Structure 1
């Protein structure tokens, strides 16, 4: 096992300390610092991006060739960490604990420690890791004009206002597949320069809000659907992704049930849990979102778009488009036409 001891004043120093132990090179572009490694210690990358007001993100997209344990000292730099593994697992414990707790794929972890405490993050050997870590330095974050932590639940409020780091806190979340889609999008942002950083920052705040929402739900005792296993929810998420990729396909509840091996009742429970919609409502939502993208980005006329996304009736499409967006497809298309100044 490789143990990396980290006493850092900022996140960039964490990246540099990891580099000392596993090698690689750190590249900087558009305020992104990326450690790229391809050797007998590890293969992949670790990306760090700082934002304003004490917020930053670390994204692990790496496979370690040996077990790696980060021993992170909680000094003056002692952020709240919001962690989500899109792929792979890891273990966590405080220095005062004897037992590590497993954080499984699609499960979240929120933690912070007392000043002079120790945090252990234990990564497995030969396991593909895609892990998002959002870090918030409280003294800076609370100075942000739009930060209103008084709206948080009692436990999180106490964590955010603990700027002197007098208390330990950890929260192991339950399965959260909704967050998976947002973390995946964080990796797939392809724009460049300032626009890229702005898009990444917006997505980071969206993921952060989902961590907080999940904590609220668990504090309120909102459970996972008891009718579904984790593996079944993962299957349903794959169905949802397939519908997004090919919205024009002729889907039906019966066909989805037969293809997935899940009952129609389980499919409905799963779609309501993951997407807050029935199967039929979700398919219609995806098609309407696809139609809006096509109107915006292509020269197809409305009739062509109707058939491209899997509808057969233009009048029905126009009706439900207006119900959803408050405007007809034709009116929406006209708004996109910008007059050329003479």
Structure 2
């Protein structure tokens, strides 16, 4: 199995990745790419474990123009995508009649035949988790019923067309976000890390494809857009004091309505969700950017590092010092 990636943002030649059938491997391999063109900041990280190939895109472009990723693959695959930032479309090369889109805070499972296809990104910020696997792996985890009783999928497979399992994409709820961040911020090494990755990916796939979504049916579009705007604001101001009154005012709600709708959309009260985001950010700063415990705690809004340590231990069951590499 072979993939060829060529990005309008990557400063290099076409990237070629070769795999055994069904992405089989006995090892865990990880790579990180930082060689972007001028004006692009961030990284693309790859993880390959047995039967699964993962790409995490996390970068920002200085221009607002659309960017493309051209992919050529010689075997059909399934692609499970989780979009945190960066709306995009996927289509077969030069096929303008069958274009699928996926927006921020959504996920979907795509069947992608052996083909030349394009990802077109419409936002400057891209934060997308891409999980590739084959039909045999999906049936191993989900059984044959999931695919064999879907006539639309069977027809797309026969006609070698891209197909999305969920028509408009599914809501990326808090439970799935937690699993993704646990996967991305794993602090284990060696065989333990490999086993952890395998278990987390299995958990992520099973829950994403089985759990009925709790996306509120009575939430107005404009209310949801206001809450998503507030979530983006919170993420970019974690080092500041955040209070209900200020956030409610920015969202255009009274405090009671804001708290009710926020919990309805995100599954947690506002301050529990803020704590969740702060700890996620701190994990990244400590484990990937070599921040000290004190530096990370101040960066995510804790004036007292001890308070941060207590909150961290309460949520995750271990101390943040365990993230520091020897």
TM tier, smaller: 0.5 to 0.7
1:32 match: 30
Cα distance between partner residues in 1 of 2:260 and 2:104: 23
- 1:265 and 2:257 correspond: yes
1:1-342 matched pairs, under 5 angstroms: 9-10=1-2, 13-14=3-4, 22-23=11-12, 31-40=29-38, 42-52=40-50, 54-63=51-60, 67-73=66-72, 75-76=74-75, 78-95=76-93, 96-98=95-97, 100-115=99-114, 117-124=115-122, 127-142=124-139, 144=140, 147-150=142-145, 154-155=149-150, 159=153, 168-170=162-164, 171-178=167-174, 179-213=176-210, 217=213, 223=217, 225-226=219-220, 229-234=223-228, 261-263=252-254, 264-275=256-267, 279=269
Alpha-carbon deviation of 1:137? Answer: 0.8
Task: Point out where structure 2 has 5 or more consecutive residues left out of the alignment.
Answer: 16-26, 280-306, 312-326
Count of residues paired in the alignment: 263
Alpha-carbon deviation of 1:131? Answer: 0.9
8 Å Cα contact 2:68/2:119 also seen in 1: yes
Cα distance between partner residues in 1 of 2:204 and 2:157: 23
Cα distance between partner residues in 2 of 1:42 and 1:245: 24
CA distance 1:167–1:39, change in 2 (3 Å): closer
Alpha-carbon deviation of 1:101? Answer: 5.0
Q: SS of the residue aligned with 1:191?
A: coil
Say what the alpha-carbon RMSD is for the aligned residues.
5.0
2:315 match: none
Alpha-carbon deviation of 1:133? Answer: 0.5
CA distance 1:239–1:42, change in 2 (3 Å): closer
Q: SS of the residue aligned with 2:35?
A: strand
Task: Point out where structure 1 has 5 or more consecutive residues left out of the alignment.
Answer: 1-8, 291-304, 310-342
Q: SS of the residue aligned with 1:22?
A: coil
TM-score, normalised via structure 2 length: 0.58
Tell which deviates more after alignment, 17-26 or 85-94: 17-26
CA distance 1:63–1:236, change in 2 (3 Å): closer
8 Å Cα contact 2:70/2:116 also seen in 1: yes
